[in-house]
Amino acid sequence: MNREDFPILTRNIHGHSLVYLDNAATTQKPRSVVDAMTEEYYNVNANVHRGVHFLSQQATDLHEAARESVRRFINARSASEIIFTRGTTESINLVAYSFGQECMEPGDEVIVTEMEHHSNIVPWQLLQTRKPIGIRVCPITDDAVLDIQALEKLISPRTRIISVAHVSNVLGTVNPIAEIINIAHAHNIPVLVDAAQSAPHMPLDVQALDADFVAFSGHKMYGPTGIGVLYGKEKWLERIPPYMGGGEMIGKVTFEHTTFNSLPYKFEAGTPDYIATTGLARAIDYIESIGWEEIQKHEHELTRYALEQLQTIPDIHIYGHKADTGDPVISFNIGAIHHLDLGTLLDQLGIAVRTGHHCAEPLIHRLGVEGTVRASFALYNTKEEIDILVSGIRRVSSMF
């Protein structure tokens, strides 16, 4: 599918055609995204929101049009609910800091899950260093899916927020996010959805989900690095304080007292990466030009095929993917071969996979291992590439 849109895919690595299977870490970028950013640097560049001059207006228009693209992409009610951040990590830190400051008292609790990325664990621990809050952890079952009954039991009168990954970056498990939000809302508890691994693979409708906060990164969905999104319901964004202070986020400043700008600018201190927001908008265009139906059909087929083929390898252990096919992220180990050795030798064959704990150490410990090899697919991957991965693994295992 459209491989020619991604120049990097024609590279040779160690004498082999590149087989790029590290898409959960970051996806490659189509020409349209890179070209739009280059074009803006060459012909439009000026700081946004600050100038009366032509270029500044034009850059501002592009930047705000990108915000509108994101609003439409996730069906937010208003563009003022779209905060541009550097990525999922910054988005979650913003909520942990600002929501934690305004809406949590000592002894209050946040619920996260055992399958979180570190970026949905550590920000809450940082909050703990400023305020003694509790972090409750929803366990996973032995089949590596969330234990929803346990989640319900963890909810207490002190629970102030549930912060949960939509899709696990290690297992590819798609969590029942609508059900989780329903359960939380029945207790008047807001939910932060870490959509880093879902935004690239499925449509998100924040109004249909009734999500309170949603965080995702541009670079995992064919967009540039350094740009991400925090969606927040207006009522929460109005209530919680700014995360950073500086230019753009202010109303009036004196040494005695400062008022804050309206949404979304209250949360966007300093010069935003307005070139990257254009890139993100073109990435959304790219996804929409293919369409979710096509993308999902292709990625599900790839994942099913990969699971089928990988299972033919002796001594393979695949984590997760018990209940359904899940997202196109597959973690595995082969017998006693160290994940790092397997990844390094696959690299020699031009195959890029991820190895290690994938920034989800508590989950990796729960799986009883020190790390895994992870193959993750995007819309441009092919069955031939999966065949190359499988024969590469067979070749490497025969060396041990």
Distance CA 275, CA 177 (A): 32
DSSP characters for 4-55?
GG-GGGG-EETTEE-EE-BTTT-----HHHHHHHHHHHHHT---TTS-SSHH
Least Å from the CB of residue 225 to ligand 7TS: 8
Give me the active site residues, please. 359
How far apart CA 183 and CA 180 sit, in angstroms, is 5
Residues that bind ligand 7TS (CB under 6 A): 24-25, 87-89, 117, 119, 165, 169, 194, 196-197, 217, 354, 358-359
How many whole angstroms separate alpha carbon 265 and alpha carbon 217? Answer: 19
* Cβ-contact 190, 236 below 8 angstroms: yes
CB of 358 to ligand 7TS, least distance (A): 5
Closest separation between CB of residue 42 and ligand 7TS, Å?
27
Cβ proximity to ligand 7TS, 192 vs 390, nearer residue: 192
Q: Which is nearer to ligand 7TS, 197 or 372 (CB)?
A: 197
CA distance 291 to 289: 6
Angle of CA points 12, 16, 22, to nearest 5°: 75
Q: How far is CA 36 from CA 46, 147, 282, 379, in A?
A: 15, 44, 7, 21
Phi-psi region of 46 (alpha: psi -120 to 50; beta: other; left: phi over 0): beta
Which C-beta is closer to ligand 7TS: that of 91 or that of 278?
A: 91
Q: Please state, in angstroms and rounded to a whole number, the distance separating the CA atoms of residues 89 and 94.
A: 9
Closest separation in Å from C-beta 264 to ligand 7TS: 19
230, 214 contact by CB (below 8 A):
yes
Q: How far is the CB of 175 from ligand 7TS (least distance, A)?
A: 11
Q: Residue 98 or 120: which CB sits closer to ligand 7TS?
A: 120
Question: 79-88: buried (b, 16+ CB within 10 Å) or exposed (e) per residue?
Answer: bbbbbbbbbb
Helical residues (DSSP H) of the chain, grouped into ranges = 31-43, 54-74, 88-103, 122-130, 148-154, 177-186, 206-209, 234-239, 274-290, 292-310, 339-348, 361-366, 383-399
Q: Judged by CB, which is closer to ligand 7TS: 24, or 263?
A: 24
Nearer to ligand 7TS, 119 or 303 (CB): 119
Shortest separation between residue 166's beta carbon and ligand 7TS, angstroms:
8
The minimum distance between CB 156 and ligand 7TS, in angstroms, equals 25
| Non-local CB neighbours of 338 within 8 Å, separated by 6+ positions | none
Give the nearer residue to ligand 7TS in terms of CB position, either 126 or 253.
126
- Compute the distance between CA of residue 399 and CA of residue 335 in angstroms, rounded to an integer: 13
